[in-house]
């Protein structure tokens, strides 16, 4: 029985051109190393058409060149390895707002997009299957879970290798001011500086703050948010790779609720409800003093929804 018949859902690709949209994500959020992530409204989009033939993928990257492996194709083939020759051929136009090697989940978004592309051909897949496949390819679950589920996610890898992820609503009033310095940083390089052993006191420090952080985000009381974003597991060791991180973590402003590294960096995130322009200028001043180029974005959460999976696809598009 083919996958579409098994799940009793007609493939999206059988209904004409379609779009797949996957959000960027901010992982770790201070103490939540490899555990917490939040999806944000910065997107990778695939504009897809079926073309004559079987089992072929044609990609066109719009506005940027592909650097390194095509993670969309890799993820698609991961699921399609047993039936690739029986699937229709596709023309895929890739548009991405997510900077690469910036700590904003570009590889996770590409991976999830590739899995969704396979899903569009064979019919709806269980969300758990998408998460497990994404985490198998990404090797850590945080960004992948947020890219699949939206909102704030917490992930746990179980003994059998599968991943359990749950999602929480992110406070609508709480925005992200993200500064991305012009110093691309590969995740593998950022992980190499992390120590193999952590003192117990530092583990306790992070456990206390991750619990406090989740409680504050759910209660809407942000008075201790700066303290809740404290970390001793990864940010201190990544300062040597991320110019400006040490200075950004020390910034003070009446409306600045907290600062943390986004994922493995080099993007840095400030959380605030008001005065976003002044906080953007405050972050910019760090890199102007260092004479390092940068880009600043003000982002909002890509919230989770009971209709999240249905909203991944849009049909009937006319691709340029």
Percent of the chain topping pLDDT 70: 89
Which one of 1.10.3720.10, 3.40.50.620, 3.30.230.10, 3.40.720.10 gives the CATH number of domain 3-168+303-315? 3.30.230.10
pTM: 0.89
For 56-60, 173-177, 203-207, which range has the lowest pLDDT when averaged over its residues? 56-60
On whether the CB atoms of residues 25 and 304 are closer than 8 A, the answer is no
Determine the angle formed by the axes of helices 142-149 and 127-138, rounding to 10 degrees: 150
Residues of the chain with CATH 3.30.70.890: 175-299
Q: How many Å apart are CA 234 and CA 202, to the nearest integer? A: 11
* Of 167, 150, 176, 174, residue with least CA distance to 310: 150
**What is the band of 65 on the pLDDT scale with cuts at 50, 70, 90?**
confident
Q: What are phi and psi of 318, to 5 degrees?
A: -110, 110
Q: What are phi and psi of 123, to 5 degrees?
A: 110, 165
Residues of the chain with CATH 3.30.230.10: 3-168+303-315
Decide if pLDDT at 37 tops 70.
yes
* Class of the CATH domain delimited by 175-299: alpha beta
| Distance linking the first and last C-alpha atoms of the chain | 36
On whether the CB atoms of residues 284 and 294 are closer than 8 A, the answer is yes
281 CA to centre of own chain: 25
On whether the CB atoms of residues 242 and 261 are closer than 8 A, the answer is yes
Mean pLDDT across the stretch 187-212?
A: 93
Q: Is 190 or 263 the better-scoring residue by pLDDT?
A: 263
Please list, in sequence order, all residues whose beta carbon lies within 8 angstroms of the beta carbon of residue 123, skipping any fewer than 6 positions away. 2, 3, 4, 5, 6, 7, 8, 9, 10, 11
């Amino acid at each position: 029985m083919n996958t579409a018949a098994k799940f009793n859902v007609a493939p999206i690709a059988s209904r004409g051109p379609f779009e797949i949209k996957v959000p960027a994500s901010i992982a770790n959020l201070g103490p939540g190393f490899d555990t917490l992530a939040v999806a944000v409204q910065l997107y990778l989009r695939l504009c897809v058409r079926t073309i004559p033939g079987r089992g072929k993928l044609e990609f066109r990257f719009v506005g940027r060149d592909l650097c390194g492996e095509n993670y969309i194709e890799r993820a698609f083939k991961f699921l399609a390895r047993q039936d690739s020759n029986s699937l229709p051929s596709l023309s895929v136009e890739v548009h991405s707002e997510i900077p690469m090697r910036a700590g904003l989940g570009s590889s996770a978004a590409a991976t999830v997009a590739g899995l969704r592309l396979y899903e569009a051909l064979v019919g709806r897949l269980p969300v758990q299957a998408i998460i497990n496949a994404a985490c198998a390819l990404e090797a850590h679950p945080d960004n992948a879970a947020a890219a699949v589920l939206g909102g704030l996610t917490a992930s746990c890898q179980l003994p059998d290798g599968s991943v359990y992820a749950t999602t929480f609503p992110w406070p609508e009033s709480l925005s992200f001011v993200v500064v991305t310095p012009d110093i691309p940083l590969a995740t593998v390089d950022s992980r190499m500086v992390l120590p193999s052993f952590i003192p117990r006191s530092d583990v306790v420090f992070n456990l206390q703050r991750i619990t406090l952080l989740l409680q504050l985000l759910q209660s809407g009381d942000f008075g201790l948010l700066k303290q809740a974003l404290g970390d001793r597991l990864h940010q201190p060791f990544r300062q040597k790779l991320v110019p400006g991180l040490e200075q950004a973590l020390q910034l003070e402003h009446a409306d600045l609720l907290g600062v943390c590294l986004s994922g493995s960096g080099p993007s840095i995130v400030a959380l605030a409800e008001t005065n976003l322009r002044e906080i953007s200028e405050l972050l910019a001043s760090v890199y102007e003093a260092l004479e390092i180029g940068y880009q600043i974005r003000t982002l909002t959460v890509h919230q989770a929804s009971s209709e999240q999976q249905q909203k991944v696809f849009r049909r009937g598009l006319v691709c340029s």
